[in-house]
Amino acid sequence: MQTDWSRFYSPGAEVQSYLKDVVERYRLGPYIKLRHEMTSARYDESTGKWHIRLTRPSDTGDLDEFEDTADLLFLGIGTLSRWSWPDIDGLEEFKGPRVHSANWNFGGSTWEEDVQDWKDKNIAVIGLGSSALQIVSALQDKVGRLYNFARGRTWIIPPFITDIFSDLLSRDATTDENYTFTDEEKKALNDPELGERFRRSLEEAMNDLSHGQTSHAITLRDTPLQRASREQFREHMLRKLKDKPEVAEKCGF
Ligand SMILES: Cc1cc2nc3c(=O)[nH]c(=O)nc-3n(C[C@H](O)[C@H](O)[C@H](O)COP(=O)(O)OP(=O)(O)OC[C@H]3O[C@@H](n4cnc5c(N)ncnc54)[C@H](O)[C@@H]3O)c2cc1C
Ligand SMILES: NC(=O)c1ccc[n+]([C@@H]2O[C@H](COP(=O)([O-])OP(=O)(O)OC[C@H]3O[C@@H](n4cnc5c(N)ncnc54)[C@H](OP(=O)(O)O)[C@@H]3O)[C@@H](O)[C@H]2O)c1
């Protein structure tokens, strides 16, 4: 298990490097087929096998189609991998580069590399979900002008499960900041007992549907926990917007 993450919400490049490391460490490369798309799957009762049609790019750039079989088919195709553009008049006529957050394809090895020439550019971000919040805050000091088009409103909630940090790492549980682990903390988390306890506590708090401050239980409509959380989040938004009360009022917080 990796114990020297730089921050609680680790940067993408660090997550990617961890995944590559796992693939190398356990020699998983030969078992992973990249750029293979499953186009159909049929279960044959008589042989007890799945017959799977797949495509993969050939040397000429065309797609090769072939069949493979499997005893067990495990689908992990995600719920967000089929993205689509919103239906906005004129979108197809827009002459500048455009990118969907689920298909960032500017070609650099990091997003920072992709945006290094954007200092004089006007950038428009459509939407106000998690993607837009991450993109706007990341780009705001790297581009000429940044416009965020929002048709509704959004909630930003205080970080949760921070109590585990304060219990196990003696950190301030009330801060809004992403945690950057100190060298001493990384060293402490390298201790198998503390590292395991820390990881398990985070997992339990994230996945537990019935107790305490969890990530999922607050989404159950009209439960006492959801009502209390809503009030807590409202107060958080008001605190965040204390210098812009007109925005808070307009959004109905
Ligand atoms: C822009 C964006 C940012 C996000 N940021 C965060 C974040 O910061 N933190 C967080 O916790 N969550 C984030 N999420 C959500 C998170 O990415 C997903 O919840 C998570 O990736 C789901 O994992 P998964 O393995 O189920 O599916 P995916 O990660 O979507 O993986 C599915 C894979 O299956 C492949 N696939 C699909 N169909 C086929 C097929 N027919 N044949 C072969 N392969 C196929 C896809 O190409 C893909 O590689 C983000 C999502 C998006 C879109
Ligand atoms: N850090 C993270 O954990 C993280 C980061 C990114 C994404 N994700 C996950 O990925 C999923 C997708 O998130 P997302 O932010 O990409 O998508 P999203 O939550 O669906 O947000 C899309 C945003 O675009 C707006 N929008 C759509 N069409 C529009 C239009 N024509 N004009 C103006 N605004 C328009 C929507 O407005 P309306 O609200 O009015 O429809 C919404 O604000 C979520 O499950 C999210 O949790 C997670």
Is 15 within a domain?
no
> Which residues lie with the beta carbon below 6 Å from any ligand 1 atom?
37-38, 76-78, 80-81, 101-102, 131
Is 50 within a domain?
yes
**What predicted TM-score, i.e. pTM, was given to this entire model?**
0.82
What region, left, alpha or beta, does residue 82 occupy, with left being phi > 0 and alpha being psi -120 to 50 degrees? beta
Best residue for ligand 2 mutational test, from 131, 148, 251 (most atoms within 8 Å of Cβ): 131
The number of distinct structural domains making up the chain is 2
Whole-number Å distance, alpha carbon 102 to ligand 2 midpoint, is 10
Residue 10 near ligand 2, beta carbon < 6 Å = no
Is 47 within a domain?
yes
Predicted local confidence at residue 214, as pLDDT: 57
Is 21 within a domain?
no
Residues with pLDDT less than 70, the chain: 173, 208-215
Q: Using CA atoms, how far apart are residues 17 and 23, in angstroms rounded to an integer?
A: 10
Is 43 within a domain?
yes
R_g of the chain, CA atoms, integer Å:
23
Q: End of a domain among 58, 73, 88?
A: 73
Is 188 within a domain?
no
Which structural domain range is residue 109 located in? 103-149
Predicted local confidence at residue 40, as pLDDT: 97
Q: Which atom of ligand 1 is nearest to 38's Cα?
A: 42
Is 115 within a domain?
yes
Q: Using CA atoms, how far apart are residues 203 and 207, in angstroms rounded to an integer?
A: 6
Q: Which residue has the tokens 């339990």?
A: 204
Is 132 within a domain?
yes
Counting ligands in written order, the one closest to the CA of 148 is: 2
Whole-number Å distance, alpha carbon 173 to ligand 2 midpoint, is 28
What region, left, alpha or beta, does residue 64 occupy, with left being phi > 0 and alpha being psi -120 to 50 degrees? beta
